[in-house]
Structure 1
């Protein structure tokens, strides 16, 4: 008799607003990826503590050293392969460095292997549509108990949304409110000179695609050399433009155009995957462990409220982000476009992965310029319809060492010491009314959202890395020790939280003064 154990944190509840509409076809083939424990976890935790404390003596690990010391143990991989064979599942790929094994099989085989029931759900919103879901926990046998940290992909509900906002057509352009090209913002924010030569910026996309013709025409119109853009397909994902600028194409194109216009000398690797927790985590993992393109910075403009993630998914994702920090890869993530509620409909929420303590969480401002300097910059909040920068206090992660002693100011006027990781860390122009001029699916348009801020910061860090000839790596401890490196935003609110002198839960430390950020790093 084989003892079965529920996998901690794998419980799923029926999603609000969705109902079971039928059974899954038992013969349908799906792919599921299994994440394994890390070798020498205690030693890795000790290394992470030094990185989190900003210890200048810590050098980034090479991808080879990480794989050797902190990948998955061969014995653990062998156990998963034996389990797969016993249940008729095929091993599609094994990646000891990323501690992942991708399995393929029929729905019937996976249901029996992990003791789950997969059903077809219909969500009341068209965007979520139909998905394969489950309720309850995933179980694993004795010999995988403690070895397997997450089993992802049984469920393929859409996990994240892109954080961009197209300027509504009804907004009149006032004389003092203009849109900006990315190079104009780089100059307003005093980015150090450079084109990012020799760097690779990774961009994560959960759908949509880009047209090379758009990119060529856009960079040409700015008088900027076209960067090298590579599409990397992850788990059946690929560059598939839908032709709808309001859909994921808007996100993909925006990200590439912002990074490319500021660091045209860099290579841009775009990792395309499916919008599910499995796809999202695997794409970031593949980018972090990519030995061919070796991105030194990764930009993520997708996310969802912490409450919609299972704890196994968050833990698995966070562990990939820790690996990025150990490798000296900076990860920038958008903090969300729906203010302090993150569109959750249930009180204040922060967006994940921005709330992971291992990313640079990027919030939003609304910016007015006169000539070549910033005349006014406040928290981005264009009201219910127009969006507002995400920010607040994590309910999933404790206060990181570099945020100890900070408080969040509420719109009501009181301040409260942080009870969890504060979001965001930094900010940048994000209001669609003062947004970014881009070209998407042949249409010239103005876009905002914190998803413009993640690639903006990623491009700044790529310039800094290129100038230094080495990666800035995990930047948070250094930035918090150099508060003067950012333009402090002291006006506005994002709903429940208000701007304040110093760090706040709307714009973090503020928007970049690129040269001071470079000096701080």
Structure 2
């Protein structure tokens, strides 16, 4: 029988020691493979002191999916009854029983209660202890390690033990088995190469146009350059609109890429004269980020995002989530955690899937001691998330630890519970990853197996693939999946199947129909643990993506003060996000609320989208997946039909 309080455990120390005996301890974590670039040195000195962190198991994780579907499924009586941030944090915080049981075990094992502190969000128990104490506590041996590339030192063990009755309360322990990836990152790539802006700028790759020519473009030449008028015609978006709602700014994420006001003004004068010069996003700068920059330093990604979104949402505002100081925005292998920290204070120390808080071997560390670094504290809960957030960046599942990705995926679920729609670009390399990423051609298992993208495979975000108006076609003809083989690198709409997440229930029928009626010609494997088995190229049981699509090629932009053409799924994403933002404006005007996680609605109502049935998404030496009637892993359910989408969501509660 377990003691009912920490106090009774303290008084009954000898009894506690017998209850939590070494015989009842089981292996909690064990390192399966050696960490690259880390060399084991000597055993940790017994008297060395360490900060020990125990991540407490979160409550209700097993309920999380059903909770999200309860407010996202249009057939639910609770549809759109979203939660507050406080309700979400409380729901998933560790229980009082968990904290009590773990603290009781620690005190019974000889760690004085006066040393043990619980973090404010209840996610961690933290205490100081010597090597001798933690070796006894976890029934293990700690060694010092040295990273040959970075020079960093750390202590770790090969495995550690926790009493059987306590294991369910503990997520993971630090120091434990983790040493972090090599200096180049888990996938062997630097952040500059790993975090890909999902755009295929065509500068220096094909002919440039002049601004004067661009002003003369009309709907008859949308196969040459996509302007705001072309986008409105493709998706039947009216130019007139209701007044913008004050609580519905469109959120746009940027990192390591910055807009120039001069580029925006040039674009407004050329294509959107109703938008005044000087119009700029509302700054929501995170951990020392800054913007805008002089025009000669402008980034093609930021300019593209804003030049696509403003003509669709104006007079609605745009909020810029510019993330990380200049040092860290290029020099870490982690991705998005500091952004999520700033939206949700509890995420800074939230534990799930063996990860608590930010990973010091992957994520930025603040205050930043670099001469140009941000010397403030990590920003936690600094900004309220907007109703829609567009993210045109991404990596591959291969690049980061599975636990890192799963913990982050849960945060998108939590944002969905609060009514936030999060959209990600699906990638620009078809069924592959970026060349030079994990392998020479961006593919797995000797360059043959398809490489799913991160965080795209998370089932709680909306992935946006890319379409194109092919030469000789008009905006009144059906679009095709993007495939642009010209230039220095080919470009195809990212899509495929996860090696981490199974097919979610809201998508199951659509994926099953695709396999039944349009079975891909490639061999497959079943389950992410069987990558490449029997010659398989993709996981037949994985979450499929993208979910939807929009135009993403030959986009008219101004960058570095010059007119050019751009493209990528990072063009598709702000287009789709802007349409959702406009629909929310209409719902708010009608006394309704935001949309939240939109996938369950769209998969039950695919007729509100324009089905794309032409094209493939090549990669890994194959043609990739083919488009097909219904959902497919190249263009998802299809592109927006604004009038149909608006009517559907205005009819919903």
**Range into which the TM-score falls when normalised by the shorter chain:** 0.7 to 0.9
The correspondence for 2:545, drawn from 420, 423, 427, is: 423
SS in structure 1 at match of 2:59 = coil
Q: Deviations over 1:420-453 (max 9, x none)?
A: 211111011122xx2x222334343322111111
The correspondence for 1:57, drawn from 46, 55, 77, is: 77
Q: Deviations over 1:166-194 (max 9, x none)?
A: 01434347966322234641342123645
Which one is further off, 383-392 or 142-151? 142-151
**Contact 1:119 / 1:134 at 8 angstroms: preserved in 2?**
no
Distance 1:354 1:116, change over 3 A: farther
Provide the residue aligned with 1:167 in structure 2. Answer: 202
The correspondence for 1:319, drawn from 410, 424, 438, is: 410
Is 2:577 the partner of 1:458?
Answer: yes
Tell me the distance in 2 between the aligned counterparts of 1:439 and 1:12: 49
Deviation of the 1:293 alpha carbon: 3.5
Provide the residue aligned with 1:389 in structure 2. Answer: 493
Task: Please give the residue correspondences for 1:302-381 in structure 2 after superposition, counting only pairs within 5 Å.
Answer: 302-343=393-434, 344-346=442-444, 347-368=449-470, 373-381=475-483
Provide the residue aligned with 2:312 in structure 1. Answer: 262
SS in structure 2 at match of 1:421 = strand
Provide the residue aligned with 2:223 in structure 1. Answer: 177
Is 2:604 the partner of 1:481?
Answer: yes
SS in structure 2 at match of 1:39 = coil
Task: Give TM-score, length-normalised by structure 1.
Answer: 0.76
Tell me the distance in 2 between the aligned counterparts of 1:147 and 1:36: 5
| Count of equivalent residues | 486
Is 2:318 the partner of 1:214?
Answer: no
**Contact 1:20 / 1:119 at 8 angstroms: preserved in 2?**
yes
Which one is further off, 57-66 or 216-225? 216-225
Is 2:447 the partner of 1:401?
Answer: no
**Contact 1:399 / 1:419 at 8 angstroms: preserved in 2?**
yes
SS in structure 2 at match of 1:455 = helix
* Structure 1 unaligned residues grouped into runs of 5+: 24-31, 87-92, 123-129
Q: Deviations over 1:67-125 (max 9, x none)?
A: 23334558979989xx9xx9xxxxxx9673xx87899x9xx9xxx99978462648xxx
The correspondence for 1:204, drawn from 253, 267, 286, is: 253
Deviation of the 1:366 alpha carbon: 1.2
Distance 1:317 1:292, change over 3 A: closer
Tell me the distance in 1 between the aligned counterparts of 2:292 and 2:586: 34
Provide the residue aligned with 2:595 in structure 1. Answer: 472
Tell me the distance in 2 between the aligned counterparts of 1:205 and 1:505: 26
Tell me the distance in 2 between the aligned counterparts of 1:134 and 1:440: 48
Provide the residue aligned with 1:505 in structure 2. Answer: 633
Task: Give TM-score, length-normalised by structure 2.
Answer: 0.62
Q: Deviations over 1:148-168 (max 9, x none)?
A: 469899657325221111014
Deviation of the 1:303 alpha carbon: 1.5
Distance 1:36 1:240, change over 3 A: farther
Provide the residue aligned with 2:642 in structure 1. Answer: 514
Tell me the distance in 2 between the aligned counterparts of 1:216 and 1:95: 46
Distance 1:187 1:40, change over 3 A: same
**Contact 1:164 / 1:447 at 8 angstroms: preserved in 2?**
yes
Provide the residue aligned with 2:67 in structure 1. Answer: 47
CA root-mean-square deviation: 4.7
Which one is further off, 410-419 or 177-186? 410-419
Tell me the distance in 2 between the aligned counterparts of 1:508 and 1:312: 27
**Contact 2:71 / 2:82 at 8 angstroms: preserved in 1?**
no
Deviation of the 1:328 alpha carbon: 1.3
Tell me the distance in 2 between the aligned counterparts of 1:255 and 1:206: 12
SS in structure 2 at match of 1:166 = coil
Tell me the distance in 2 between the aligned counterparts of 1:270 and 1:493: 33
Tell me the distance in 1 between the aligned counterparts of 2:491 and 2:156: 33
Tell me the distance in 1 between the aligned counterparts of 2:88 and 2:61: 12
**Contact 1:206 / 1:280 at 8 angstroms: preserved in 2?**
no
Deviation of the 1:230 alpha carbon: 0.9
Distance 1:163 1:477, change over 3 A: same
SS in structure 1 at match of 2:469 = strand
Tell me the distance in 2 between the aligned counterparts of 1:139 and 1:183: 62
Tell me the distance in 2 between the aligned counterparts of 1:463 and 1:230: 21
Tell me the distance in 1 between the aligned counterparts of 2:228 and 2:156: 44
Q: Deviations over 1:458-499 (max 9, x none)?
A: 111111111101111111111111111111111111122001
SS in structure 2 at match of 1:395 = strand
Which one is further off, 345-354 or 50-59? 50-59
**Contact 1:35 / 1:316 at 8 angstroms: preserved in 2?**
no
Provide the residue aligned with 2:336 in structure 1. Answer: 280
Is 2:617 the partner of 1:494?
Answer: yes
**Contact 1:377 / 1:489 at 8 angstroms: preserved in 2?**
yes
Q: Deviations over 1:37-77 (max 9, x none)?
A: 43333454441343465443221111122223334558979
Distance 1:95 1:468, change over 3 A: farther
